[in-house]
Structure 1
Amino acid sequence: MATLSAATRLVVKIGSALLVDKRTGAFRGEWLRAMAADIARVRARGTDVILVSSGSIALGRGLLNLPAVTLPLEQSQAAAAVGQIRLAREWEEALAPHGVTTAQVLVTLEDSADRRRYLNQRATMETLLGFGVVPIVNENDTIATDEIRYGDNDRLAAQVAVTVGADQLILLSDVDGFYSANPAQDPGAHRYDVIEEITPEIEAMAGDAGSGLSKGGMKTKLLAAKTATAAGCAMAITEGSVLHPLSALEAGANATWFTSRLDPHAARKRWIAAMKPCGEVTVDAGAARALAQGRSLLPVGVTGAVGDFGRGDPVAIRDPRGATLGQGLTRYTAAEARQILGHHSSEIEAVLGYPGRAVLVHRDDMAL
């Protein structure tokens, strides 16, 4: 079974009800400070941490004195715009005493559905983590409408975990795990410690949302678990309202772990390898050797580009004899690739007339 102490890259989802008191609408500052201490402790042992934090609409609702009812779309988006500033500031002020720098990342469903946006998001998150920053991710409720919404932060958190290659995802919830039935309604309901496979029987046990602030329910959490575990990321559901919830989980607090038989790196490589290539690039012998050593593909090592591919599309990678080395997701269009092939990364801006990525295909986006 997965344990939090073994995580190398951790995504934690925090719901609105944990940050904002459902009854009074007040911000739970003591809980946030305790959570910040947990995050700092986890990071101190070398674990990357990404937070998916709800709360912008709940906070904005209170600041605008809006009623605790379902709001029209334009009022929800206005509340999100007001609340998001407050939410980011609260996280920044809670983590700063621990020497932790934060960044705000707002996304919509389109950002993961579109491969170019997905790669841009992945590159930005990787760079932030490389600088030791804790990204605070939320859905961009100020612009998201139904057709481009995740609709709940459980599935958003799972997609973030997939995007950044996390090996663990923790959903801090108002229940301490996955039960065979709603424990508030069925005293005979039992909690699962570990779920190795999400079967139709498990799916049938899931209920709907029960909190006035949270849109998530066990159905969305199961969907999140499916997404995460398919990408090699273990997922846990545990009670989040206690102070220091990550410490409590490590100390043996009740939880349900959904396990994965893959690791994130292998799962991503398998996904890339299964794609149908939209074109191909040929590399010289030096680049072929560099790829075999686990390096990224630089434009200087490319000798040809065939096809009509766009940014984020899969392309086959061939050696000088035409043998297929593998394939990867390109960070340039076919037209751009043909312009910069053979050039050093420092020359890209001069060739294209605008700044570009240093690599044509990053090693993390490549399956050989």
Structure 2
Amino acid sequence: MSSPDTVRADIPRKKRVVIKVGTSSLTYANGKMNLRFMDHLARQISDLRNRGIQVILVTSGAIGIGFPELGFKEKLSLLPYKQASAAVGQGILMNIYEHLFREYGHVVGQLLFTKGDAVNSKRYLYMRGTLSALLELGAIPVINENDAVTADEIKIGDNDTLSAIVASIAEADLLIILSDIDGLYTADPRKDPKAELIHEVPEFSRDIFRIAGGAGTSQGTGGMYTKIQAAEICVHSGIDMIIAKGSLPDVILHIMDGDNIGTLFKGENVHPQLKKRDVIIGTAVKGKILVDGGCRKALLDKGSSLLAVGITGIEGSFEEGDTVSVYYGDEELARGITHYSSGDIEKIKGLHSGEMAKALGGEAPYDTVIHRDNLLVMR
């Protein structure tokens, strides 16, 4: 294995990592599970967790694993059959992951994701909250697209893109895409023997798409092109991304040690506030929350969450999960995704966190009205 690379010297310091694994790595050509690989994967991820690194696993494989169980001999094209295969395969897949990770002393939690979870502010809020809670509690989130109930027109379509979206939502430091090739080459290595591996892409350019081909293996849906699409999302979100060959011994551990494996796409130097812009700014503002001077100072100078105690009033009618503006007088301070409806905020405005439950007539699900992770300061 190559020695640590100075370009990758910061990789061992990453604290939150998303790892994506494809169908071609998880299954054999006949659709049966590659248990040796899955055990190898679970052991490496468990070791990262033992180091204190938070890990999210984005997995393909449900359809590929399900179709031989239903008697099919080749990849399917009819949507209901694909969805039926996903329904069968997802249960089998999670059962194996749960067993393997438990053997290594770790708990997994399953999340099934659709495109709507990324573009709908309320579902984005729930998804982000669930991910954060699982990581905080020491579990390993295992994410797949919800193929069993998702029609093609509302699908993300491939788990390379899904993994990049998850990395962005989770504000991960690194995305590792494990593939059946070593990384990005100057040309298709299956066709051009002179093709050379590109170890680093310091600055993303759309010219990179020119050297990416179509779909990959008969089991998977993604080729190099979808991995470049994932890299574009990550880079613009300030997240590093590495494409590497999943079958290499201890490949994840070597990557996290800073070894020069695969292709590294360097994330841009993005201010954390800008990572929230697409979801918050791109969503229609449904109302206003008015705050006092102390709250203004906390939001602008301390990067605080919006608490009920600093709220003086509201304008408009909105629901939990809607995007709202935060105003001090005529000055727009921020925009964010609210945990509470306008009706509930009327009940809790000006109150400390410990007083909210009584005002609501039941347990307050959140201490904050808008958490700082879902708040975009407008200056």
Same fold, TM-score > 0.5, yes or no: yes
> How far apart, CA to CA, are the structure 2 residues paired with 1:25 and 1:269?
39
> How far apart, CA to CA, are the structure 2 residues paired with 1:160 and 1:366?
18
Counterpart amino acid of residue 25 in structure 2: L
1:200 paired residue among 194, 202, 206: 206
After TM superposition, give the deviation of residue 357 of structure 1 in Å.
3.0
Q: Which residue of 2 aligns with 1:237?
A: 243
Query: What is the RMSD of the two structures over their aligned residues, measured on CA atoms?
Result: 2.4
Q: Indicate yes or no: 2:276 matched with 1:260.
A: no
Larger mean CA deviation between 198-207 and 283-292 belongs to 283-292
1:295 paired residue among 295, 300, 304: 304
2:223 paired residue among 213, 217, 220: 217
After superposition, where does 1:1-368 map in structure 2 within 5 Å? Answer: 1-2=7-8, 4-22=11-29, 24-249=30-255, 250=257, 252=259, 254-263=261-270, 265-268=272-275, 277-291=285-299, 292-319=301-328, 322-345=330-353, 348=356, 351=359, 356-368=365-377
1:178 counterpart SS class: coil
Deviations 1:210-263 (A, max 9, x none): 201110011111111111111111111100123422024346353111111225
Deviations 1:284-331 (A, max 9, x none): 344345434333212232111123444444433234x55443332222
Distance 1:264 1:21, change over 3 A: farther
**TM-score, structure 1 normalization:** 0.91
> How far apart, CA to CA, are the structure 1 residues paired with 2:280 and 2:221?
36
2:244 counterpart SS class: strand
Deviations 1:130-168 (A, max 9, x none): 101100000011101012101100000000001100010
Distance 1:253 1:260, change over 3 A: closer
Unaligned runs of 5+ in 1: none
Distance 1:322 1:145, change over 3 A: same
- Is the Cα contact below 8 Å between 1:318 and 1:326 reproduced in 2? yes
After TM superposition, give the deviation of residue 347 of structure 1 in Å.
5.4
- Counting aligned pairs with the same residue, the percent is 35
Larger mean CA deviation between 82-91 and 188-197 belongs to 188-197
> How far apart, CA to CA, are the structure 2 residues paired with 1:294 and 1:149?
35
1:186 counterpart SS class: coil
> How far apart, CA to CA, are the structure 2 residues paired with 1:192 and 1:136?
30
Distance 1:29 1:48, change over 3 A: same
Larger mean CA deviation between 200-209 and 149-158 belongs to 200-209
Deviations 1:48-92 (A, max 9, x none): 100001111111112222121324111111111111111111111
**TM-score, structure 2 normalization:** 0.88
- Is the Cα contact below 8 Å between 1:179 and 1:192 reproduced in 2? yes
> How far apart, CA to CA, are the structure 1 residues paired with 2:77 and 2:366?
42
Unaligned runs of 5+ in 2: 1-6
